[in-house]
């Protein structure tokens, strides 16, 4: 996460924080807190730049050529999630308050709104530091996340708050706290407004619209990244010299890659995990289930792709 990613986060940190303050009418007291957002955003630079320098973009990673996953790498994935768990929980709680799923009062939502951007920045910083600590790049993390949560555990890529977040699509942002790329000159922003979790039919329809758009966004992102991951994996199989021994696996891998190229919404192995992958993940099923957080998944996946 470097280049435009870093600039986007810092710009969003300043711009989104100011928009929250103005939108909620917090005046000087709120602005005092926003002044610190830019400083917090700058602390992302060391971890994010180190991650990008060491591992490159997510597309640069290749899964093991035999179709399995090293148990040590699954342990590393779980350790990264353990390390980021405190900040992830705080971020999830913040989003739940803004979402209204906790029956939050107006003062609680105002406080959560002021804390929104610092929470986001803190979560992404902790994620990057955790990945560095366990020696795992974003490509490997995203792949294990996808095959473990969406493949093995059948989690919904649309999980998350009932409002647009982190580049979720959609033109009607009235029901949203949203931030993301708004074209060449728009920059990040938070939009204040919407019905805010009242539970009526219109609100539920909007939430479902948000969920469906999030599913489309996550699928498009992961398909694009995972196609490159699988291309590299296929090239490694071809270069291994074990063509005869791996013939059936190569055929399955090539077929999966072709299916993903034909369907830009297809996730890697969503129609059935390779047996070596499933066998590697199964012993970790309970721990993977316990480590899942539906509220923050869109942040973990969406912000890996800001260049």
pLDDT at 201: 58
Residue range of the domain that includes 35: 4-162+177-197+273-302
pLDDT at 130: 96
302's tokens: 């969406």
pLDDT at 187: 36
Low-confidence ranges of the chain (pLDDT < 70): 1-45, 101-103, 165-202, 243, 302-307
pLDDT at 175: 40
Instruction: List, as one string, the DSSP characters of 72-133.
Output: HHHHHHHHHHHHHHHHHHHHHHHHHHHHTTT---HHHHHHHHHHHHHHHHHHHHHHHHHHHH
In a domain, 255, yes or no: no
In a domain, 230, yes or no: no
The whole-model pTM stands at: 0.81
In a domain, 142, yes or no: yes
In a domain, 202, yes or no: no
If one counts the domains in the chain, the total is: 1
Please check whether residue 179 is in contact with residue 100, taking contact to mean a CB–CB distance below 8 angstroms. no
Residue 195 CB coordination number (10 Å): 15
In a domain, 211, yes or no: no
In a domain, 242, yes or no: no
Q: What is the pLDDT of residues 40-79, one digit of tens each?
A: 666 666 778 889 899 999 999 999 999 999 999 999 999 9
- CA distances 301 to 80, 90, 232, 240, Å, are 14, 18, 21, 31
| Rounded Cα distance, 297 and 64, in Å | 24
pLDDT at 300: 85
In a domain, 225, yes or no: no
């Amino acid at each position: 996460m470097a280049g435009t990613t870093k600039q986007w986060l810092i710009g969003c940190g300043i711009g989104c924080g100011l928009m929250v303050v103005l939108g909620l009418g917090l005046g000087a007291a709120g602005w005092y807190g926003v002044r610190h957002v830019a400083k917090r955003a700058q602390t992302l630079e060391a971890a994010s730049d180190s991650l990008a320098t060491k591992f490159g973009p997510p597309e640069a990673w290749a899964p093991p050529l035999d179709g399995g996953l090293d148990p040590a790498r699954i342990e590393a994935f779980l350790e990264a999630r353990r390390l980021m768990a405190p900040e992830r929980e705080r971020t999830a709680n913040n989003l739940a308050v803004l979402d209204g799923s906790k029956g939050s009062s107006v003062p609680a939502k105002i406080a959560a709104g002021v804390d929104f951007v610092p929470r986001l920045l803190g979560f992404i910083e902790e994620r990057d530091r955790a990945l560095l600590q366990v020696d795992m790049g974003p490509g490997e993390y995203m792949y294990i996340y996808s095959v473990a949560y969406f493949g093995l555990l059948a989690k919904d890529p649309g999980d998350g708050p009932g409002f647009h977040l982190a580049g979720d699509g959609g033109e009607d942002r009235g029901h949203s706290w949203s931030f993301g790329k708004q074209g060449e000159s728009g920059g990040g922003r938070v939009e204040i407004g919407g019905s805010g979790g009242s539970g009526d039919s219109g609100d539920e329809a909007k939430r479902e619209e948000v969920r469906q758009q999030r599913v489309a966004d996550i699928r498009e992102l992961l398909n694009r990244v995972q196609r490159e991951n699988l291309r590299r994996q296929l090239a490694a199989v071809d270069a291994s010299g074990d063509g005869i021994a791996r013939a059936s696996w190569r055929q399955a891998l090539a077929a999966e890659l072709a299916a993903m190229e034909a369907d830009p919404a297809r996730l890697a192995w969503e129609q059935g995990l390779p047996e070596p992958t499933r066998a590697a993940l199964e012993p970790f099923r309970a721990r993977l289930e316990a480590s899942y957080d539906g509220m923050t998944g869109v942040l973990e996946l969406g912000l890996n792709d800001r260049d």
